[in-house]
Every structure is written in structure tokens, then in C-alpha cells.
């Protein structure tokens, strides 16, 4: 997943409006929306101005819960392994 795809799915999980107010002219955005519809994560509804996409709450909840369960990275300190003594003699 790309950061853009994650942003789009999080948008549909947390908001009731179309991503970018329905402006899907960017190729990456259009591709992502089409892919998510094919996967059943989004579905097309109809409003008075044309198609509107709606998030599949059950599917998106599973995805968002998975993302939220990933721990944050932590800084660790380590002593590097000394170079092999035999390699230094060559």
C-alpha cells in the first residue's frame, strides 16, 4: 500500500464525504478508488451531482484496526560487531 492509498482508506473510514470532494482526476487517486471498489472496500452511491463513493464500514474497520495495531518504531543502541581479524591481515 502506498501512503496515498492509506490516506484514502482512512478518509473514507472517518468521514462521510468523498475524498478530495470527489475530484479523482489524479491518475493515482482514480486508480486507487477503482481498485478499492473492485475489492469491496468502497462502493459507488448516487447523489444528485453524480457518483459518490461510500466506505464499506465493516471492511474498513478491519483494515483500520490492523493499521492501529502496528507498534511505533523504537530507537535501539547496539555495539557493532568488530571486523574479522583474518580479513584485516590480508
pLDDT in tens, 4-26: 999 999 999 999 889 999 899 99
Q: pTM here? A: 0.77
User: Domain 3-68 falls in which CATH fold?
Assistant: Arc Repressor Mutant, subunit A (1.10.10)
DSSP string, the chain: --HHHHHHHHHHHH-SS-GGGG---SHHHHHHHHHHHHHTSEEEEEETTEEEEEE-HHHHHHHHHHHHTSPPP-----PPPPPPHHHHH-
Looking at residue 84, its pLDDT comes to 77
Domain ranges of the chain: 3-68
Amino acid at each position: 500500500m502506498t501512503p496515498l492509498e492509506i490516506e484514502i482508506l482512512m478518509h473514507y473510514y472517518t468521514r462521510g464525504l468523498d475524498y478530495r470532494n470527489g475530484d479523482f482526476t489524479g491518475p493515482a487517486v482514480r486508480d486507487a478508488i477503482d481498485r478499492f471498489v473492485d475489492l469491496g472496500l468502497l462502493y459507488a452511491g448516487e447523489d444528485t451531482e453524480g457518483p459518490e463513493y461510500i466506505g464499506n464500514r465493516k471492511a474498513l474497520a478491519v483494515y483500520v484496526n490492523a493499521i492501529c495495531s502496528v507498534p511505533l518504531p523504537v530507537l535501539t543502541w547496539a555495539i557493532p560487531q568488530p571486523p574479522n581479524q583474518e580479513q584485516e591481515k590480508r
